[in-house]
Chains A and B, each alone.
Chain A
Amino acid sequence: IAGITQAPTSQILAAGRRMTLRCTQDMRHNAMYWYRQDLGLGLRLIHYSNTAGTTGKGEVPDGYSVSRANTDDFPLTLASAVPSQTSVYFCASSDYRDREKNIQYFGAGTRLSVL
């Protein structure tokens, strides 16, 4: 079982370019999340999706968009990257239906540098 796969592992991107970070899970979890991790700030939620076809804004959604066309995939798009979006991005998923077991599992992350 692969769990959560994120791609690419790392990327250097010119400012103003468009970039999509990919996230795929094979656990049939209905909820998925995108976080960014910055030193001294911990992980902050960007967007989330409780089920396929629905998305919601997290703590720091500006400059990012997501879609959830199916259960397994939850891509994160930076329409026009800016240097402040340099960060490590983590995708997570959980079984939202089970309130006691709604544990989030994380991918290995994508390290993005915007120059």
Chain B
Amino acid sequence: AQSVTQPDIHITVSEGASLELRCNYSYGATPYLFWYVQSPGQGLQLLLKYFSGDTLVQGIKGFEAEFKRSQSSFNLRKPSVHWSDAAEYFCAVRRAAGGTSYGKLTFGQGTILTVHP
């Protein structure tokens, strides 16, 4: 069965500092990978996705993520964090194609980001 691990439950950074949120997955088939962000009291918003091709993908709000197949990782990065980036971030995986279950997402546990001024 597939699984997603986000090793860091809570990360605190200063505004303007760089950020990297880790995501590791275990998946038997070719995965599609996603990062979602959840602001307090809100639903989830898609930040970026990886389907195939260039392993460095750009998303909204200045975020990027790099897919590393050899490490089964899909880490999220941002060069300079803004106070408005404080939120909870979720990594998710689903199978690329085939079968009735291919639309279903498996989520990591989430990483809470706190930004200090």
Contacts and interface: CB of A to CB of B under 8 A. Distances in A.
A42 B107 contact: yes
Interface in B3-48: 4, 6, 9, 34, 36, 41-46
Main secondary structure of the interface of B (DSSP, over half): loop
Size bracket, chain B contacts:
20 to 34
Interface residues of A, number: 28
Contacts, number: 62
A76 to B, nearest CB: 15
A102 B103 contact: yes
A96 B108 CA distance: 22
Given A45-B105, A48-B104, A108 B110 contact: no
B88 to A, nearest CB: 9
A90 interface: yes
A67 B66 CA distance: 39
A50 interface: yes
Interface in B55-108: 90, 92, 94, 96-97, 100-108
B114 interface: no
Interface of A: 4, 31, 33, 35, 40-45, 48, 50, 56, 58, 90, 92, 94, 96, 99-100, 102-109
Given A4-B43, A42-B107, A109-B43, 9 more contacts: A31-B103, A35-B107, A41-B109, A42-B90, A96-B103, A99-B97, A103-B46, A104-B105, A108-B41
17 contacts: A31-B103, A33-B105, A42-B90, A42-B108, A43-B90, A43-B92, A45-B106, A48-B103, A48-B104, A50-B103, A96-B103, A103-B34, A103-B49, A106-B45, A107-B43, A108-B41, A108-B42
